Amino acid sequence: MDLITELEAFLPSLAKLRRDLHKNPELSGTEVNTAKRILAFFAQFRPDEIISKIGGHGIAFIFKGQAPGPTVIIRCELDALPIAEQNDFEYRSMNSNISHACGHDGHMTIVAGLGHMLANERPKCGQVVLLYQPAEETGEGAERLVEDPKFRSLNPDHVFALHNLPGYPMGSIVVKPGTFSCASRGMIIKLTGLTSHAAWPEHGRSPAIPMCQIIEGLTNLPSVLEPNGVLTQVTVIHSRLGEPAFGTSPGYAEVMITLRTETDESIPLLVEKARNLVQDKALSAGLEFQISWTDEFVTTSNHKDACRIIEQAARSAGLDVLPMEKPLRSSEDFGRFTSRIPGAMFGVGIGEKRAQLHTPYYDFPEEIIPIGTKLFLGIIYRLLDETIETQE
Ligand SMILES: [Zn+2]
Ligand SMILES: [Zn+2]
């Protein structure tokens, strides 16, 4: 059986794995059962080495070639999101308020397909590391992973990953050298004043109006910054004011905001402007304020050579390659890898009419599974199979 027929024959097992993963999603940092499920599935592939508990609940499956050569990492993500799924098919999430709304169930399955292919035929040289990364959605996983001595001992030469992309034609491959996805940072603002009787609000210091001014001012910051075509974005994601007690004027407020820019260099200016604005509004209203930061993502910056390899592999698999005009506005912690190791992330289109990522009706389309697996395999062969390399 040739390799592609081999993959086709294995698709029902992959679809079953994908649905099992979809049904049992886990939040960032708590991917215990997902990791167990993946470990159990990979037992049939007999990898040469398995490193578990890497960077948290991460797992690396290593498939070695006959001769020495480069190490290629193919990375996917273990985690799901705190979103209540609203689909009603049989394999919908069984865990309340948690779902695979980013398609990481599909990404994991594509990489499991690679496990099957590599079990049947090892690369000619070097080694392939199939890396299941925890905690992508909070931006913590990749950083913890690359700092893990177990990861560093792998000495990777190349790193690749994909993300499914709604809004692009089904099965198209989206490649972009340079910035692929934006940098972002979560800002938590706490305002403390003084409660008072609702009948005499003048006896207290309510953060209600300053909170609104901060929300409005921060939302308008991108237009004030005049970014010269460089994307700058501020999104209010949460706020809270006082308590639901009609006799009390509030003394406390909290606002959470995501700051986002197209380059790593423009984040500090946005951070400074945001901090100054909060300080102005809080101090002029006699409030104490506290600012903290979380969910810090750098840009994912793709290396040119890695993009060229993706394009070649895509074209020889007969797939359409589309350029990406602007980087994805979303953030991706894969940037922690590409800032250290040559590599790239590419997109796989899932259709123009699909539910968007992180929405309650999203579901990963299984037609993408063989496309992703074949493309990764093409990339691996280009880097680790001398016969293909010498042909070019
Ligand atoms: Zn996501
Ligand atoms: Zn994602």
Ligand nearest to the CA of 359: 1
Domain boundaries, the chain: 3-180+299-391, 183-297
- Give the Å distances, CA to CA, from 52 to 132, 220, 300: 9, 46, 25
Measured in Å, residue 80 CA sits from the centre of ligand 1 at 8
Contacts of 36 (CB under 8 A, 6+ apart): none
**For 159, what's the count of Cα atoms within 13 Å in the CB-facing half-sphere?**
23
CATH code of 3-180+299-391, in short, is 3.40.630.10
**pLDDT tens sequence across 2-40:** 777 889 999 999 999 999 999 999 999 999 999 999 999
Tell me the C-alpha distance between 197 and 299, whole Å: 48
Would you call 175 helix, strand, or coil by DSSP?
strand
Task: Using pLDDT thresholds of 50, 70 and 90, give the confidence band for residue 388.
Answer: very low
Please report the pLDDT score of residue 1 as a whole number. 63
User: Does 229 have pLDDT greater than 90?
Assistant: no
Tokens of residue 38, six digits: 């993946």
Q: Which fold has domain 183-297?
A: Alpha-Beta Plaits (3.30.70)
Cα 363 to Cα 241: distance, rounded to the nearest angstrom: 35
pLDDT (average), residues 325-335 = 92
Best CA proximity match to 315, nearest among 126, 172, 184, 187: 172
Q: Are 374 and 23 in contact (CB under 8 A)?
A: no
pLDDT in tens, 132-187: 999 999 999 999 999 999 999 999 999 999 999 999 999 999 999 999 999 999 99
What's the average model confidence in pLDDT over 229-249?
94
Q: What's the Rg (C-alpha) of the chain? A: 23
**Reported confidence tier of residue 224, pLDDT bands at 50, 70, 90:** confident
Does the structure show a pLDDT above 50 at 194?
A: yes
Q: What is the pLDDT of residues 72-120, one digit of tens each?
A: 999 999 999 999 999 999 999 999 999 999 999 999 999 999 999 999 9
Q: How confident is the model at residue 228, as a pLDDT?
A: 66
| pLDDT for position 188 | 98
CA of 362 to the centre of ligand 2 (A): 12
Residue 231: which pLDDT band, with cuts at 50, 70 and 90? confident
CA 103–ligand 1 middle distance (angstroms): 8
Those residues with Cβ within 8 angstroms of residue 351's Cβ, 6 or more apart along the chain or in another chain: 166, 168, 169, 170, 365
What is the SS3 assignment for 10-50?
HHHHHHHHHHHHHHCCCECCCCHHHHHHHHHHHHHHCCCEE
CB atoms within 10 A of CB 378: 20
Position 165 scores a pLDDT of 96
71 Cα–ligand 1 center, Å: 27
Who's near 63: CB < 8 A, 6+ residues apart? 47, 48, 115, 118, 119, 122, 123, 127, 128, 129, 130
Q: In CATH terms, are 3-180+299-391 and 183-297 the same topology? A: no
At 246 the pLDDT is 97
Neighbours of 284 (CB within 10 A): 10
Q: What is the pTM of this model?
A: 0.90
Q: For position 93, what pLDDT does the model report?
A: 98
Ligand nearest to the CA of 358: 1
